[in-house]
């Protein structure tokens, strides 16, 4: 994940930016991580680790969604 | 595909991994083999929706390079997250009203790494006009269970990924009141509505809300439904649990269920599902008997699994890469 996409993903997790994927699991993950972060804003590193693990596992999501997110 | 008992037996003998949905009288007659099954007499076939106890709906799960079958109870069902293939698809069937289905439905969203493993499945059922008992089958032993989950793990070729998705006609209206529940549960008395403690059953009656409308939770634009099973003695029973840390609203009423459902299917008709299943409420409310909804062919279910238990949706899986 490049720095631009990373910053925007963090904004999405903080609900400062809105992005909806066509991928169900990715939307569910974003929603879960938003709730985790809302409960404890200090959780960002752990949330990003989880996000990166997901994107590594699903390169198709990473390719399409990260490009879309970077363009936000 | 919808097949006769003789055809099903021949397909099992070929040895391909199979998913089989049928009435229990047919499933009971199948030979041992590389298959898992669940009971339902309702199907969406290539020829359209149908209720029959004379045929079986078979899905060939032969897009992988290896398939394994396992059986779990309520105490170990979440081992599926550890025992699945690292790059695969997990197909899960659980009987309606079973303890294992209740356990899975309540706890799945909190299971670590659940979303890291594509899981699709359904809740088996029975003829709604007769007293019945939902069952699942492990074809390798021929055993039928009313209290266990059967799983087929499919390992995908390198470079391929499974993606689980769903078709859901329901959305919310963000100006509607927000409903929250005090705990993860399959029934609810008290809840808060816009922060005020309220009895949900009384709220339903007072506001004249159609109990056929599900509660919906917005998961970053993907809506997860929770359907109402019954409203009795001040308690609302659900087909899937509500969760304490989730915001709910009642779904926006649908003017023409059939039209909305078929429109949603039409919008997704370019997909290439290797497996799909569809809720009995969609079957009934969209009057799918005799209607084709290609490319979606599969069992009509008492609940669907798209990672977690969902309601009133059509769930499907595609393979990419």
Domain range for residue B195? 179-250
For chain B, how many structural domains are there in total?
2
Residue B119 is assigned to a structural domain of this protein: yes
Regarding whether B186 and B203 lie in a shared domain, the answer is yes
B214: tokens are 């599900």
> Can you give the pLDDT at residue B303?
95
Of A19, A23, A57, the CB nearest to B116: A57
Residues B54, B43: contact at Cβ < 8 Å?
A: no
> Can you give the pLDDT at residue A62?
82
Regarding whether B213 and B264 lie in a shared domain, the answer is no
Mean pLDDT of the region B211-225: 93
Classify strands B179-180 and B190-193 as parallel, antiparallel or unpaired: antiparallel
Domain range for residue A55? 3-70
Regarding whether B277 and B240 lie in a shared domain, the answer is no
The nearest CA of chain A is from the CA of B222 a distance in Å of: 6
Q: Between chains, do B220 and A24 touch, taking CB under 8 Å as contact?
A: no
The nearest CA of chain B is from the CA of A61 a distance in Å of: 10
Tens digits of per-residue pLDDT, B60-116?
A: 999 999 999 999 999 999 999 999 999 999 999 999 999 999 999 999 999 988 999
Residues A65, A8: contact at Cβ < 8 Å?
A: no
Q: What is the DSSP string of B191-260?
A: EEETTEEEEHHHHHHHHT--TTSPEEEEETTEEEEE-EEEEETTEEEEEEEE-TT--BEEPPPPS-HHHH
Q: How confident is the model at residue A60 (pLDDT cuts 50, 70, 90)?
A: confident
What is the C-alpha to C-alpha distance for residues B208 and B242, in angstroms, rounded to an integer? 21
Residue B317's H or E segment, with its range, is strand B314-320
Regarding whether B70 and B49 lie in a shared domain, the answer is yes
Q: Between chains, do A31 and B219 touch, taking CB under 8 Å as contact?
A: yes
For chain A, how many structural domains are there in total?
1
Mean pLDDT of the region A33-58: 93
Q: Between chains, do B220 and A30 touch, taking CB under 8 Å as contact?
A: yes
The nearest CA of chain B is from the CA of A28 a distance in Å of: 5
Residue B310 is assigned to a structural domain of this protein: yes
Phi and psi of B111, rounded to 5°?
-80, 125
Q: How confident is the model at residue A37 (pLDDT cuts 50, 70, 90)?
A: very high
Regarding whether B239 and B214 lie in a shared domain, the answer is yes
Tell which of B250, B271, B299 closes a domain: B250
Chain A, chain B: beta-carbon pairs less than 8 Å apart: 52
Residue B174 is assigned to a structural domain of this protein: no
Query: The complex's ipTM?
Result: 0.91
Q: Between chains, do B164 and A25 touch, taking CB under 8 Å as contact?
A: yes
Q: Between chains, do A23 and B221 touch, taking CB under 8 Å as contact?
A: no
Instruction: Give contacts of B321 with chain A, Cβ < 8 Å.
Output: 60
Residue B171 is assigned to a structural domain of this protein: no
Residue B117: how many other CB atoms lie within 10 Å: 24
> Can you give the pLDDT at residue A63?
85
Regarding whether B61 and B208 lie in a shared domain, the answer is no
> Can you give the pLDDT at residue A21?
94
Q: How confident is the model at residue A58 (pLDDT cuts 50, 70, 90)?
A: confident
Tell which of B202, B219, B250 closes a domain: B250
Of B164, B222, B320, the CB nearest to A60: B320
Q: Which residue has the tokens 């009141």?
A: B177
Spatial CA neighbour of B90 closest among B123, B61, B110, B111: B61
Classify strands B314-320 and B161-167 as parallel, antiparallel or unpaired: antiparallel
Instruction: Give contacts of A57 with chain B, Cβ < 8 Å.
Output: 116
What is the C-alpha to C-alpha distance for residues A44 and B265, in angstroms, rounded to an integer? 38
Residue A59 has pLDDT above 90, yes or no: no
Of A19, A27, A59, the CB nearest to B219: A27
> Can you give the pLDDT at residue B154?
98
Residue A6's H or E segment, with its range, is helix A3-13
Classify strands B314-320 and B273-279 as parallel, antiparallel or unpaired: antiparallel
Q: How confident is the model at residue B217 (pLDDT cuts 50, 70, 90)?
A: very high
Tens digits of per-residue pLDDT, B23-47?
A: 999 999 999 999 999 999 999 999 9
Regarding whether B107 and B80 lie in a shared domain, the answer is yes
Q: Between chains, do B221 and A20 touch, taking CB under 8 Å as contact?
A: yes
Query: Across-strand partners of B237?
Result: B187, B230
> Can you give the pLDDT at residue B321?
85
The nearest CA of chain A is from the CA of B128 a distance in Å of: 30
Mean pLDDT of the region B297-305: 96
B295 prior amide bond cis, ω within 30 = yes
Tell which of B224, B250, B276 closes a domain: B250
Spatial CA neighbour of B69 closest among B123, B14, B18, B5: B18
Q: How confident is the model at residue B287 (pLDDT cuts 50, 70, 90)?
A: very high
Q: How confident is the model at residue B243 (pLDDT cuts 50, 70, 90)?
A: very high
Instruction: Give contacts of A34 with chain B, Cβ < 8 Å.
Output: 220
Regarding whether B146 and B52 lie in a shared domain, the answer is yes
Residue A12 has pLDDT above 90, yes or no: yes
């Amino acid at each position: 994940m490049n720095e631009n996409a990373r910053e925007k993903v963090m904004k999405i997790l903080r609900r400062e930016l809105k992005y909806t994927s066509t991928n169900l699991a990715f939307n569910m993950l974003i929603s879960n991580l938003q709730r985790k972060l809302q409960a404890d804003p200090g959780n960002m590193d752990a949330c990003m680790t989880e996000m990166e693990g997901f994107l590594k596992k699903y390169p198709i999501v990473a390719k399409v969604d990260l490009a879309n997110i970077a363009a936000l | 595909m919808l097949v006769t008992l003789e055809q099903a037996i021949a397909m099992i003998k070929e040895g391909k991994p199979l998913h089989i949905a049928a009435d229990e009288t047919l499933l009971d007659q199948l030979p041992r083999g590389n298959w898992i099954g669940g009971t339902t007499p309702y199907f969406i076939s290539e020829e359209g929706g149908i209720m029959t106890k004379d045929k079986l709906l078979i899905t060939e799960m032969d897009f992988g390079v290896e398939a394994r079958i396992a059986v779990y109870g309520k105490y170990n069902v979440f081992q599926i997250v550890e025992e699945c293939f690292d790059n695969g698809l997990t197909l899960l069937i659980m009987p309606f009203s079973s303890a294992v289905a209740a356990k899975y439905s309540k706890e799945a969203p909190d299971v670590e790494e659940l979303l890291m493993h594509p899981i699709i499945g359904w809740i088996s059922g029975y003829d709604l006009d007769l007293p019945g008992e939902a069952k699942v089958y492990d074809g390798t032993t021929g055993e039928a269970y009313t209290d266990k989950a059967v799983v087929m793990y499919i390992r995908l070729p390198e470079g391929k990924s499974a993606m689980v998705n769903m078709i859901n006609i329901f959305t919310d209206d963000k100006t509607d009141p927000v409903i929250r529940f005090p705990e993860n549960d399959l029934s609810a008395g008290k809840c808060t509505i816009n922060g005020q403690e309220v009895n949900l059953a009384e709220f339903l009656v007072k506001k004249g809300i159609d109990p056929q409308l599900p509660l919906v939770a917005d998961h970053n634009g993907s809506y997860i439904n929770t359907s109402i099973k019954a409203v009795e003695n001040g308690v609302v029973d659900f087909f899937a649990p509500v969760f304490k840390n989730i915001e709910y609203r009642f779904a926006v009423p649908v003017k023409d269920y059939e039209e909305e459902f078929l429109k949603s299917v039409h919008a997704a008709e370019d997909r290439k599902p290797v497996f799909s299943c569809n809720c009995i409420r969609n079957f009934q409310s969209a009057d799918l008997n005799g209607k084709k909804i290609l490319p979606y062919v599969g069992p009509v279910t008492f609940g669907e699994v798209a990672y977690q238990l969902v309601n009133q949706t059509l769930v499907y899986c595609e393979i990419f890469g």
